[in-house]
């Protein structure tokens, strides 16, 4: 009986320590509105060309909170809504908004020329950067971020749309991916997560 009681006390103590450790770990991490990707082993590299023809990588944006979105300029809803929300978040932050960088990675390099990308992003925020690559480079970038995309034939010959992952990836100022922000969460949820990373 005594042995059983001692075993139960030891078990309770170990569980208590475990819970305490979990509580401390949880308390030390920000409560993101999006999915917490802290420590993820993907979305670590991104090497493409911007709308001005310059080679870019994730390292270029260190020191800022980076928001990366994969989309295409002829997208009717998800893409323009996401970019408009990001522009709204940046404006709402005032001077702090200068520390937020939006990056749009095209999944449709066939139609999204550098000139078109420049005009498209400029309509949301002139500081936003568009990244474009060859078909193979685009596939590699999407694979690195675990992003899905696929061409969907249109109603008339030669036309198509693109199905794709509808979410943004938010990086901290050290260049580490931290949050997966789903489309439809709204500008406020995005702003809250960006503010948490700006405060780190």
Alpha-helix runs per DSSP H in 29-113: 78-92
Q: Which tens digit of pLDDT belongs to each residue from 65-123?
A: 999 999 999 999 999 999 999 999 999 999 999 999 999 999 999 999 999 999 999 99
pTM for the complete prediction? 0.85
Q: Domain map of the chain by residue range?
A: 1-30, 35-198
Round to whole Å and give the CA distance between 172 and 6: 47
**DSSP string over 168-196:** EEEE-TTS-EEEEEETTS-HHHHHHHHHH
Fold of the domain built from segment(s) 35-198: Glutaredoxin (3.40.30)
Angstrom distances, CA of residue 167 to CA of 36, 95, 180:
13, 26, 7
Interval 97-111: pLDDT, tens: 999 999 999 999 999
Q: Please provide the average confidence, as pLDDT, over all residues in the chain.
A: 89
pLDDT tens-digit readout, 157-181: 989 999 999 999 999 999 999 999 9
Output the pLDDT for position 135.
Answer: 97
Number of CB atoms found within 10 A of residue 41's CB: 7
> What is each CA distance from 8 to 5, 12, 17, 19, 184, in whole angstroms?
5, 6, 14, 16, 48
């Amino acid at each position: 009986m005594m042995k059983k009681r001692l075993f139960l006390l030891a078990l309770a103590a170990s569980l208590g320590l475990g819970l305490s450790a979990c509580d401390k770990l949880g308390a030390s991490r920000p409560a993101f509105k999006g999915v917490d990707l802290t420590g993820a082993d993907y979305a670590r590299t991104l090497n493409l060309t911007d709308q001005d023809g310059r080679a870019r990588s994730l390292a270029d944006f260190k020191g800022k909170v980076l928001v990366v979105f994969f989309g295409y300029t002829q997208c009717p809803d998800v893409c323009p809504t996401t970019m408009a929300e990001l522009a709204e978040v940046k404006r709402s932050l005032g001077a702090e908004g200068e520390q937020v960088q939006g990056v749009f990675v095209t999944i449709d390099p066939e139609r999204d020329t550098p000139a078109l990308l420049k005009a498209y992003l400029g309509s949301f925020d002139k500081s936003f950067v568009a990244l474009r690559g060859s078909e193979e480079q685009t596939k590699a970038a999407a694979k690195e971020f675990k992003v899905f995309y696929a061409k969907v034939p249109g109603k008339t010959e030669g036309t198509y749309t693109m199905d794709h992952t509808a979410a943004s990836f938010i990086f901290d100022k050290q260049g580490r991916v931290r949050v997966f922000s789903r489309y439809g969460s709204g500008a406020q949820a995005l702003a809250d997560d960006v503010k948490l990373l700006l405060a780190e």
